[in-house]
Structure 1
Amino acid sequence: MFENRVAITTDLWTAGHQKRGYMAVIAHYIDASCNLKSFLMRFVYVPCPHNIEVICEAVHACLVEWHIEKKISTLTLDNCTSNDK
């Protein structure tokens, strides 16, 4: 499916007052006809704390599962509160 580079975006959110985190991992790539394609690779539970180590582990597991860890062009993470120190 991925002959060239792949851009990855994520969106992480917490469900209700349970502090249960969920993350969508989405792949974006250009196909052979030069069309932009995007699809949901994985929807995954992310345990607390939602820090950079936990998030990276979840993303890395997805990339390894799809065998694309060496084809990533960009990786965009959206989790503002994890970056607050």
Structure 2
Amino acid sequence: MSTLSKARAYDVESFWKNLTNHPQFKLLRAPEIGGVMVRGRMGAQGDAFNLGEMTVTRCSVQLDTGEVGHSYVQGRDR
């Protein structure tokens, strides 16, 4: 998931189209866009404070073999 979250959408789509044996999966939670509050600390030691909001996309899938994956990615692709 980490590698996929850092890849460009175009590269992932291109790889998926060229893949001959697609894993079977079902969406537990379809990709959806939302926001999260980003927290920070002054000097990494001070009291926590709200830095601001950030757009994220989240999704959950389950492979037919039973493995479940959840991912949050910064930003959106629309």
Category of TM-score, reference length = shorter chain? 0.3 to 0.5
Normalising by the residue count of structure 2, what TM-score does the alignment of the two structures yield?
A: 0.35
Normalising by the residue count of structure 1, what TM-score does the alignment of the two structures yield?
A: 0.33
Larger RCO: 1 or 2 (CA < 8 Å, sep 6+) = 1
Query: Higher strand fraction: Structure 1 or Structure 2?
Result: 2
Structure 1 or 2, whichever has the larger Rg, is 2
